[in-house]
Amino acid sequence: MSRWLEVGTDNYVLTTENSKLNTGLIIGTERAMVIDTGCGPRQGREILDAVRQKTQLPLVVVNTHAHYDHFFGNAVFAEDGATEFWAHENCAEEISDNGDAQRPAVTDLEPEMAAGEGANVELVVPNALVRDQPVLVDLGGQSATMIYLGRGHTDGDLLVGTSTTLYAGDLVEQGAHPSFEDSYPVEWADALRHLSALRHRYEFLIPGHGEPCSDRFVKTMADTMSTAVRQARQSIRDTPSDATKAIPVLPYGPEQSRWFIKRLQETRPQH
Ligand SMILES: [Zn+2]
């Protein structure tokens, strides 16, 4: 079952069952902004129905990054009349180039989406792009600012900030280990420190999954990640022939630790 939580005046978060996805809703006087749309037409419809209980205003959509649970529901919102879909340029490119490759991930949850057959199963690629500079969207009486803090959970993570609330997408994950599959571990820790430095501007911090987070939570997540980078590098130096030796010493589950090491070896900071 889905559940609304009020996080600041006219700022809300909806948690839907599948993987406890948090969808943001910011309601202005002229438009409302929906942040992340679910993993297919079924969850997208559930989110849209819940949004329509709160507001009848035209909707603007933001996808925080190019993982299926955050954008596979876009077509439901396009059908409802949304024409403006925001994302970081790297996110939009990934959805356009490789979005279809994620369909098998929802075989159980959204079989029509997985098969690409049925209503609202087409990919809607974001058409309003954020690059390195923040972009402000006026919703009437309330504005939302989209911010890019560099590479982290993916190479195209957007945050959305209002006067009270920061929606962080999967850069911050509560209640589960972070997901490293498409990540840049060293830069992710930097992005979290940057986020933590902005934290005083916001009363509420909403992760991509799980419960609202404290500043301490973000700092701990950053410190844990930096420590893990050092531990993994040390372990790889000690046993260069078998990087998996680092898995047991890392502070994450075995599968995420495996991804962490793989991505640490594959990625190098740009600067
Ligand atoms: Zn993600």
> In this structure, is the dihedral angle defined by the CA atoms of residues 78, 170, 143 and 7, taken in order, positive or negative?
positive
Mean pLDDT of 141-161: 97
Give the model confidence (pLDDT) of 109-127 as tens digits. Answer: 999 999 999 999 999 999 9
Q: Evaluate whether 207 touches 172 at the Cβ level (below 8 Å).
A: yes
- Establish if 222 belongs to a structural domain: no
Q: What is the CATH number of the domain that holds 18?
A: 3.60.15.10
Average pLDDT, whole number, for the chain? 94
Alpha carbon of 92 to ligand 1 centroid (Å): 14
Alpha carbon of 235 to ligand 1 centroid (Å): 27
Contacts of 224 by beta carbon, 8 Å cutoff, 6+ apart: 251
Quick one: tokens of 221? 């997540």
Give the structural domain span for 109: 5-214
- Establish if 262 belongs to a structural domain: no
Alpha carbon of 114 to ligand 1 centroid (Å): 18
Q: What are phi and psi of 130, to 5 degrees?
A: -105, 135
Alpha carbon of 271 to ligand 1 centroid (Å): 24
State residue 67's pLDDT score: 97
State residue 74's pLDDT score: 98
Mean pLDDT of 165-192: 95
The runs of H, that is alpha helices, within 68-181 are: 68-71, 74-79, 89-98, 111-115
Alpha carbon of 63 to ligand 1 centroid (Å): 11
Predicted confidence (pLDDT) at residue 199 exceeds the cutoff of 80: yes
For residue 128, give the amino acid letter: A
What's the pLDDT band for 106 if we cut at 50, 70, 90? very high
Higher pLDDT, 267 or 61: 61
State residue 236's pLDDT score: 84
- Establish if 188 belongs to a structural domain: yes
Alpha carbon of 153 to ligand 1 centroid (Å): 7
d(CA 198, CA 131): 19
Total domains, the chain: 1
Whether pTM > 0.85 for this model: the answer is yes
- Establish if 87 belongs to a structural domain: yes
Alpha carbon of 67 to ligand 1 centroid (Å): 5
Give the model confidence (pLDDT) of 216-262 as tens digits. Answer: 999 999 999 999 999 999 888 888 788 788 888 899 999 999 999 99
- Establish if 232 belongs to a structural domain: no
Give the model confidence (pLDDT) of 31-73 as tens digits. Answer: 999 999 999 999 999 999 999 999 999 999 999 999 999 999 9
Alpha carbon of 21 to ligand 1 centroid (Å): 10
- Establish if 193 belongs to a structural domain: yes
Higher pLDDT, 240 or 107: 107
Angle between helical axes of 254-266 and 215-238 (0-180°, round to 10)? 70
Nearest residue to 261 (alpha-carbon basis) of 171, 245, 221 = 245
DSSP character at residue 20 = G
Alpha carbon of 188 to ligand 1 centroid (Å): 13
- Establish if 246 belongs to a structural domain: no
Alpha carbon of 65 to ligand 1 centroid (Å): 7
Alpha carbon of 170 to ligand 1 centroid (Å): 5
The residue written with tokens 């299926």 in the block is 68
